[in-house]
Structure 1
Amino acid sequence: MKLGITMNTGRGVLAWDQTENAFYCTYHLPNSPVMVGVPHSKGCQSCVRRRIKCDERRPLCKRCETRGLQCPGYEKPTRFCHFSITQGDRQNALQSRPRKILRNDNVEGRSASNKDVAPSFDECVVPTLVQRSMCIQQKEVFGDFVDVNFPGLYYSWSSRMEVNFMEFMRQQSDTPTNALVWAASTLCTVNRGQRDQDRQQVDLGRAMYIRGIRTLIQLIQNPRTVKSDQTLGAAVLLGICEMIDGSFEQSWLAHSSGIAALFQHRGPEAHRDGVGRTLLISFRAFIVADSLLRGEPCFLAEPAWRAVIIQSMKQENERGKGSELGDLVEFAFHEITLCPGLVARVRDILAGKTIDPIQKKLLVGAVTTQISNLSKLHNRLSILFSQGIALESRPDLVGPIPRPVIHMLTKFSLQGINMAIDLLNRLLRSLSVHQTGSILDGNYYKQNFNQTCLASDRIIGEKLMEGPDELALSMGMLVLKQ
């Protein structure tokens, strides 16, 4: 072995073998003194390099002067060092035999096969360096995706949360096996492919989506991970991926029902604050939209879940993060969660499943109350919205909500409230017509009510493709026909 260039790696010596055109790395045992490229001779650097005896004349060597060379002097560029390695490295330390880590086959004109390709020098020192770097980079790419696709939803709540979604992402381990990081990579790849009209990129994202679903299934089947924040977060991101690139028409509904089941399995207390509340805010509007389309009550209308919304608002105000605008939006969502259940009850009456006059009367009262509550919130929010630019300079009204999203949040919240009120008024008219006996046909809901109150599948799909952020800010009500 003929060694040329040497380098101290902190755990051993990396040396270039001039004979075999390869790098070698020698690992040293703990607490052993190491001499790195330090010649034994006290001669000048030129004589040491030429391996001849130096006369050691100061300040310049006579041998160099005789040969007409400029003497480089006697100062040595390297020095002795003493170091120890950790217990974890102790198992990997080699006794004395050098380990070949990289061959330079190109020097001899040979082509290396894939199996001959060895890790880079950085990977030898930190084996997971490349993977960790890619995971860290992917988290920041996900931040760009959020800025472009969900600015209203994210920034309307991010400064008010104890842990916002990006902070939650950055807390994840930098490994490609992390389901949440993998789901984020899937979502960003699909979105980037659609944006650039790159079919290959989209196909790659879809392949990643399949792997993400398989990983999610494993997490759900494991009792130790089924209720974890990472599992729910991965499900949420994969659900959004299904919205922007559905495997079939309205496929996101199948996924959203699974996400709703995960929320219910975790229970309302898990979403009162912290990451749990962040995850609930990120997907709750889609849960309401899903319930409206299915014509089923929304679990968020249950007393325990409604109480979580009120208690979270109180905690937000106690931390100094509350505002009148934020409270009005939360109160509006608190009322809108009841709409899917009211739709389901009216549907049952129109279909002839409920014939009790008392139940009809109670239902009319419930719908009327909801219209009244939402109308009051609409009036108060309209007053804020009418102030326009002046609203941005009122911290007592907007709190920590960033200025760029104040108008967007107010606008689509008002639109969502308007559409909820319109839906409830249609329910009242339908109940009134049914009560007079003018329409007794059990197919009324199928032929009339569903067409006038709820959007068709095609319209829903277009809404989600055009603006999932707007759908979220409208509290899920943009699924209704306008």
Structure 2
Amino acid sequence: MAFSCTHLSHASENELFEVLGTPEIELLVRVDGAPLQNGLPTQRVKAAEWVEWVDEDDEEIRSLDVGESFLQGEEPKVLAQLGTLRVPETIFTDSFDYCIDLWRVGCMCDGRTPCARCKSLNTPCLRQIRAIEFRDQGPALRQKYRSTSQPSSRLSPVLDREGDPPLRSIRSNVQYLPVAFPINEKVSHALSVTAVSSLQTQVFTNFVLSAFPCYFKCTETQVPVNWVEYVENRRGTNSCFDWALRACTTSFAGAVHSDQRLLKEARVMYIQSLRSLGGLLSDVSTAKSDEALATAITLAVYEKHHCTDADSWLKHASGIRTLMKLRGPSAHLHGFGCAMYVAYRGFLVTAALISGEECFLQEPEWQALNEEIAANNAKLPDSSLYTDVVERGFLEVLKIPGHVKQVRKLLSLSSEERARRQPGVLRSVQAARAALRGISTEFGISVSMRRAGQDARQSFIGPSPHFFLDGYSTLFASGVRSGLLILNQLVLAIDRTQRASLELECQLLSGDSCSSSASSEGSVIRPLTPPDSPLAPQLVVESLITPSYRKPPTTDWMDHIAGTMGMDGVRVSLLE
């Protein structure tokens, strides 16, 4: 855990060691006995540890290093940066080998004079730091000393076997890095395009890691081309997708800096993208392109954060559904089409629930697509029991809108017709609930196995830190519970004799009454239909993607909806 102390001189050595632990200093020597090369320290400080630290997951949190600053004008000419520089930085890992101390070396130069714009707005200035040459010597050193080092799956390269899919887990290094957004009150959106294009990839990366941190980091290697790679390869044009992209990144920068001018510029870019997209959709051949679908998805994400109209994102979702069906399932198995499908499929479940329709993804050809994606992911080196359970869980969750529609239709029938159809509908809902219960149990076991270290070979590996994976696991489990709550309400709406057992199960799932979901603070849980009520129960699906519930793009609100497979985008209640 790296941290800063602005008045370190006020603390005595004993007071400092009380907090950090007494340091242990050891000599740095090579395992082969040869002398150290220039640039390596002769000693190092071992990480401090707290013996009394207790946590349910037995996490180890240790102070890795104490850095030293230098004055402006006295910066070294060359710095060997052996690790990614991110200050402050928190690192969670299964174990420490004390080599991480050397790989996380870096410095940050401060003392710059803020630019005039940041002075006037009284905001932190993020303009570029004076150029210092950084040399990443880590890969070269690891390659040079691999033969004398202990084998490590984290460092050793793995070659593709013939017939295996590409090792996507080692292809990218997506990181959040602060950037200055070059726009002010004197520059129109048209004049700023050239300047923005040079920073577009990093600003978009920051947006993705703010809005979809867990979902993106845990799926980025499961698709042939992820979103950041697709944006990087474009390098900025004036297409409808790039206007949509700029709308998202500019609004994100506006939210970061609390700058209303940037938000207004983003709105202009959004309208420009909509107009350009209309031309693309006028031709069937271009309407099937990745460009058209990527633009529609990006505009839909913008709409969720800004809600230009109460149901505007649903209109985009309807268009996305139409484009996907026009393209067909096979267009979403390979290339960037797969990334677009994986990114937006949870929102299609949300839209189906709100619209009162079945989700088209439950059709056999789309079910086959999900199964093939899961099979391809199982062949990846960073695959695990998690990825398999998550894919099978989504296959069950996407059927929930269809069950809701089926039960609503049943409740609207006459008594005689309802009595005739009720047993079949009840069996269908109970079968779905049993399948989702099995997914929940299996996922819980896989989580326990990883935490107990019993699944070392099949645990998550690759570039994703554990806190992303744990966050993603939490969101998935929450989505499964919300799905079970909805299915329980459907059973209760059909068969009131199960009320007592269902209410108990709902309380165990949510800690509250039998009402799903994702909710905001202060939300009101609707009452259940009383057992002796003569009125038929009514299912109410409330959208949680509205102007009242929306959150800015600097939050992980979208991550929660995507990670819960769309379940955090709605609240389903059973009313009398």
Could you tell me the TM-score, scaled by structure 2's length? Answer: 0.56
The partner residue of 1:479 within 569, 572, 575 is 569
Superposed displacement of residue 464, structure 1 = 5.9
Determine if the alignment matches structure 1 residue 394 to structure 2 residue 394: no
Determine if the alignment matches structure 1 residue 282 to structure 2 residue 343: yes
CA–CA distance in structure 2, aligned partners of residues 136 and 294 of structure 1: 40
Rate the CA distance shift 1:391–1:299 in 2: closer, same or farther, 3 A: farther
SS at match of 1:397: coil
AA at the equivalent of 1:362: G
CA–CA distance in structure 2, aligned partners of residues 345 and 463 of structure 1: 30
AA at the equivalent of 1:206: R
Determine if the alignment matches structure 1 residue 315 to structure 2 residue 402: no
Aligned twin of 1:422: 485
Superposed displacement of residue 287, structure 1 = 0.8
Gaps of 5+ in 2: 1-191, 500-530
CA–CA distance in structure 2, aligned partners of residues 469 and 422 of structure 1: 21
Whether the aligned pair in 2 keeps the contact of 1:180 and 1:234 (CA below 8 Å) is yes
CA–CA distance in structure 2, aligned partners of residues 358 and 386 of structure 1: 44
CA–CA distance in structure 1, aligned partners of residues 420 and 334 of structure 2: 40
Please tell me whether Structure 1 or Structure 2 has the larger radius of gyration of its CA atoms.
1
CA–CA distance in structure 2, aligned partners of residues 458 and 472 of structure 1: 12
AA at the equivalent of 1:475: M
Gaps of 5+ in 1: 1-129
SS at match of 2:571: coil
Whether the aligned pair in 1 keeps the contact of 2:426 and 2:491 (CA below 8 Å) is yes
Whether the aligned pair in 1 keeps the contact of 2:306 and 2:550 (CA below 8 Å) is no
Q: Which moved more, 1:335-344 or 1:400-409?
A: 400-409
CA–CA distance in structure 1, aligned partners of residues 550 and 475 of structure 2: 14
Aligned twin of 2:223: 161
The partner residue of 1:295 within 356, 359, 362 is 356
Determine if the alignment matches structure 1 residue 261 to structure 2 residue 348: no
Superposed displacement of residue 212, structure 1 = 0.9
Aligned twin of 2:366: 305
User: What does 1:215-230 align with in structure 2 at a 5 Å threshold?
Assistant: 215-230=276-291
Aligned twin of 1:330: 391
Whether the aligned pair in 2 keeps the contact of 1:193 and 1:201 (CA below 8 Å) is yes
CA–CA distance in structure 2, aligned partners of residues 463 and 391 of structure 1: 39
Superposed displacement of residue 456, structure 1 = 5.2
AA at the equivalent of 1:222: D
Deviation sequence 1:419-459 (CA, Å, 0-9, x none): 101110110010114999977757x42xxx21xxx335577
User: What does 1:35-114 align with in structure 2 at a 5 Å threshold?
Assistant: none
Aligned twin of 2:549: 462
User: What does 1:134-283 align with in structure 2 at a 5 Å threshold?
Assistant: 134-172=196-234, 174-175=236-237, 177-283=238-344
CA–CA distance in structure 2, aligned partners of residues 170 and 300 of structure 1: 30
Q: Report the count of equivalent residues.
A: 345
The partner residue of 1:365 within 416, 427, 434 is 427
SS at match of 2:221: helix
Whether the aligned pair in 1 keeps the contact of 2:492 and 2:498 (CA below 8 Å) is no
CA–CA distance in structure 1, aligned partners of residues 248 and 193 of structure 2: 19
Whether the aligned pair in 1 keeps the contact of 2:307 and 2:547 (CA below 8 Å) is no
Aligned twin of 2:148: none
The partner residue of 2:404 within 340, 343, 363 is 343
Could you tell me the TM-score, scaled by structure 1's length? Answer: 0.66
Identity over aligned pairs, percent: 25
Superposed displacement of residue 359, structure 1 = 3.2
CA–CA distance in structure 2, aligned partners of residues 401 and 387 of structure 1: 21
Rate the CA distance shift 1:473–1:435 in 2: closer, same or farther, 3 A: closer
Superposed displacement of residue 217, structure 1 = 1.2
Whether the aligned pair in 2 keeps the contact of 1:455 and 1:480 (CA below 8 Å) is yes
CA–CA distance in structure 2, aligned partners of residues 279 and 314 of structure 1: 18
Rate the CA distance shift 1:433–1:404 in 2: closer, same or farther, 3 A: closer
Aligned twin of 2:51: none
Whether the aligned pair in 1 keeps the contact of 2:204 and 2:249 (CA below 8 Å) is yes
Rate the CA distance shift 1:311–1:457 in 2: closer, same or farther, 3 A: closer
Deviation sequence 1:192-251 (CA, Å, 0-9, x none): 212322221111111111111111111111223101011111111110000001112242
Superposed displacement of residue 280, structure 1 = 0.4
Whether the aligned pair in 1 keeps the contact of 2:288 and 2:327 (CA below 8 Å) is yes
CA–CA distance in structure 1, aligned partners of residues 547 and 482 of structure 2: 15
The partner residue of 1:406 within 469, 479, 483 is 469
RMSD after superposition: 2.8
Whether the aligned pair in 2 keeps the contact of 1:464 and 1:471 (CA below 8 Å) is no
AA at the equivalent of 2:367: R
CA–CA distance in structure 1, aligned partners of residues 434 and 282 of structure 2: 45
AA at the equivalent of 1:241: Y
Whether the aligned pair in 1 keeps the contact of 2:217 and 2:468 (CA below 8 Å) is yes
Superposed displacement of residue 139, structure 1 = 2.1
